[in-house]
Structures are given as C-alpha cells and as structure tokens.
A and B are shown apart, each in its own frame.
Chain A
Amino acid sequence: MRFSDMFASPLLMQIVLRAMVVGVLVSLCCALLGVNLVLRRFSMIGDGLSHVGFGAIALAAVCGLSQWELEFTLPVVIVAAVLILRMSERSHTQGDAAIALLATGAVAVGSLLYNYSPQRNADICNSLFGSASVLTLTDKDLILSLVLSAVVLALFVLCYHKLFAITFDEVFARATGVHTQAYKTLLAILTAVTIVLGMKLMGAIMISGLVVFPAMSAMRLCKSFRGVVLCSGGLAVVCFVAGFFTACRLSWQTGPTVIAVHTLVFVLVSAGSALAASRLLRRKKV
C-alpha cells in the first residue's frame, strides 16, 4: 500500500483513521498512567501485563475464540494486574519477582499453545510486535478506547491532586484520609485495560514502551508534577502520530516504529538536559 493510496479510498481512509484514533487515545492513557507507575517504581507492570495478555490471546486463538479475543483477554489481564499489585504490596522484592514469574510463565504457555494454531509464526509475530496491517482493529476497539480514555482523563482531571499525593507520599496521603487502596486498584485496572487495547496495534513486546518512554522523557524536561503529566501526555500523542505516519509511509509495523520515535525523543531529550546541566555547572564555577 502506498502512502497516497491510503487516502484514495474512503473505506481505507476510515480504517486508517480508526487505527490512528485508537492509537492516540491508548498512547495518551499509557502516558498518563505511566507517570504514576514509573514514579511508584512499577515500570515493569506494563511489561508483565502485556506478556500475560500474549498468553491470553494465544489461549483465545487456540480455543477458537479469536473474535472474542478482547472479552477473553481483558478479565485475565485485569486479574493479573490486581494480583501483581497485591503481591508487591506485601513485599517489594516479591512483587518484582512476581511480575517476572507471571510474565515468563504466560509467554511460555502462550507460545506452546500457538503450536496448535494453523498460522503459527505469523500469529506469534503479530501478537509480539503488533499487526503488520491496521486492518485488524475493529469498532469494538474504537469504542472501548474512547470509553477508557474518557475514564482515564476524568480521573486525571478530577482526582489530579489525590493522584499526586498518592504518588509522592502514599503514607501521608492515607494519613490525610485518602482511600489510597481504592485508587491504586483503579489505576491497576485501567493500566490492564489500556495494555490489552494497545497490544493489538503495538504488540505485546512494544506496549510497555508506551507506558515508560513518555514519562521518562517528560521527567527530563519538567521539574513539576503537573509539568511532567502534561508533557508526558503531549509527547505520547506527538510521537504516536509521527510514528504512525512514518510506519504507513514506509510500510513498517506500527508498534516498533512508534517506539523507535519515542526512543529517539528520549535520547535527544536526555542529551539536551545533560548538556544544559553541564553548562549550568560550568556557569556556576566561573
């Protein structure tokens, strides 16, 4: 498919547009939730959940539930998210190890299950690195991502101050009467939904990049929590659109291209802030 062809037919255009809207919304949700996860040192949660999602999709495919993939995968990953949260609460090292266990276990089972799928290698490749074509996204994906992003945005706008308090100092937040447990569970569930939604487009291996990269880049650019949240969301949208069009243009896979753009931005921003810091240091010495 050539780039200009995409806009030639209304049907194709609609499909591309749908994929882009889903991608932008998922990127935005990932980035907002990512600020919270990264700062609470839960970066690996996105990675772990996507691997669990991979296992669940494999199971769905083998059981012939491919058209119910979303309905099947969502509850599995949500349960995994809540489990990981509980375990890491009990002890930090155990939580860390629990994510690794769940992730590798699910991938092992998932890839074994794909032995019973007719197009084994293509399926594995698609679920790990994202669909080569954007045709696989359905209206169901679109509606769910609209609902999800509405919930995530509402949470971040209305409960922004509570989220800040919980992320910065959970004990203090609890002491002032915030129901931290409820918020943490909600965040875990929203993360699970976001990951499952994003997996189809981005691939299981790539999706956690959407969670971690924008927050990490934003933290190098901004010094306040508000700044980091806004910047993270903004970067996520810009990088996704840039990556998406590049991928269409060059017929690359969407997931790796978008993450490559994020990586590039991160490297540039890190270099820039390192340079600025060293210049500041030199000016102070003089």
Chain B
Amino acid sequence: MALIQCRDLSLAYDGRVVESGVSFSVPQGDYLCIVGENGSGKSTLMKALLGLIRPAGGSITFGEGLHQTEIGYLPQQTQIQRDFPASCFEVVLSGRLNRRKGRFFYHKADRDAARRTMDTLGIGDLARRCYHDLSGGQQQRVLLARALCATQKLLLLDEPVAGLDPVVTQELYALIRRLNDEGLTVIMVSHDMTAVAEDAKHVLHLAHKPLFYGNTFDYLHSGVGRRFTGRDGNALF
C-alpha cells in the first residue's frame, strides 16, 4: 500500500478546471518531483494533497497510517509574511500543532522535538533570533524545520529553493536528500532540472494534465523530459 494514491484527480477553482486526469502513487521512501511550467497546477495539486482544496473529481487515498493533517508542508515563498515578528523557535514549534489534539499547551516533548529538529538542520543557534532578520536560506531552513516537526512520514516542498543563491540551494538539496535517505518520503515541486536528475526517484510532469509520470531515468529520456530540460538526457549519465 502506498502512502498516497491519486486516481484520475481533477482540481478546479470556482468551477474552472486547472488540471485533470492526474493519477500517481507515492510509495514509502519515494522522492517524487513535480515539474511543469508556471500556472500548470503544481501548487494546486499540493494544496489538494493537504486537503486545502476539495478535488472536483477523482480521489486521493492515504495509506500506511498517514493522516492528512500529518504532512510536513513547506509553502511556496509568496504566501509567507516576511516581516512577521516571531522568533525562529516559535515558528518551528508551530509545526507541532497537529500533535496537540485536545490539549491547549505544548508539552516539554514538543519543545524538545522542535529544538532537536533545529539542531539537526544546523539552525540551533538561531532559535531566539527574529524570523524576519534572517537571510532567505536561513528562513527556508526554519520553515523546513517547522515542516519536519509536523511529520514523521511525508514532506511536501513547494519550490523550496526559489530565490536562494546556488550555494545555499545545493545545501538545501543535500539536506532534503539526507532526509530522504533516512526514510522520509519527499514530494517536491521544482524548476531545477539538475536537482530532479540527481535526486528524484520519480517525476510527474504537469501541464493541466499529466504529460509524464514515471521514474526519473525514463523521464530524462522521454520526449517531454528532453524538451523541458532543454538538453540531451544521455549527457547526464
């Protein structure tokens, strides 16, 4: 049984269909990259997986004991307020919100988990710093830590490296790769084809409908993949 199984999914805003016929399944430990042009419905698909919008058709099924509210989500940058007065620790801790069913306050375990996650991501010393004083790369790490606090199984990353410099981008990819190696399932929206080629196990190419779904090697050698990457797929291996 897969973690997530989408069957013939179609998604719409106010009756206007954004994408349709989307079918794929995400087994445990997978690293799925979702690619496609701007406006092709990648973020919309993420929102549907999170239950933020209701599918207009088809179905999303969760397996392996995964609950929809237990997905770690790193939103696309545009949605977050950059000048919010919050300490990094407060932001990371808010990821534990979904574990507090019926409780008003956090336990010590929640605080410890938040602290541990920050240490793992190398941002332990930023805990007391103000979120909006950080660099873009540090902010993304804080949000990644928050996402990790919210899940033990599945990470959804929506263009996590947009606006970051190449060095920080590589560091973030390395971090995500490590998390995936440790058993976390990753679904990532990305425009960065190098990362797709190096890290992804499967690729879903969207253009209002799926143009390709399969493993990364096949994608890079497919017609769509070659056209989208703008280079010869063979050269990568």
Q: Which A residues lie at the B interface, using CB under 8 A?
A: 39, 158-159, 161-162, 164-165, 167-169, 171-178, 219, 222-228
Contacts and interface: CB of A to CB of B under 8 A. Distances in A.
B98 A224 contact: no
A224 B79 contact: no
A192 to B, nearest CB: 24
21 contacts: A39-B84, A39-B85, A161-B93, A161-B104, A164-B94, A168-B81, A168-B94, A169-B94, A171-B52, A171-B75, A172-B146, A175-B50, A175-B52, A176-B69, A176-B150, A177-B68, A177-B97, A219-B85, A222-B85, A223-B129, A226-B90
Contacts of A219: 85
Contacts of B84: 39, 167-168, 225
A165 B97 contact: yes
Interface of B: 47, 50-52, 68-69, 71, 73, 75, 79-81, 84-87, 90-91, 93-95, 97-98, 100, 104-106, 128-130, 133, 146, 150
Contacts of A223: 85, 87, 129-130, 133
Nearest to A215: B85
B80 A169 contact: yes
A161 B69 CA distance: 16
A168 B93 CA distance: 12
A222 B50 CA distance: 33
A177 B106 contact: no
A224 B92 CA distance: 13
Nearest to A229: B85
B85 A225 contact: yes
Nearest to A221: B85
Q: What 8 pairs between A and B have smallest CB-CB spacing?
A: A177-B69, A223-B130, A176-B98, A224-B87, A175-B50, A165-B94, A225-B86, A158-B104
Contacts of B69: 175-177
Nearest to A157: B104
A175 B71 contact: yes
Contacts of A159: 104
B52 A174 contact: yes
B75 A169 contact: yes
Residue among B71, B85, B93, B100 facing the most chain A CB atoms (10 A cut-off): B85
Contacts of A158: 104
B106 A169 contact: no
Given A169-B80, A175-B50, A224-B130, A164 B90 contact: yes
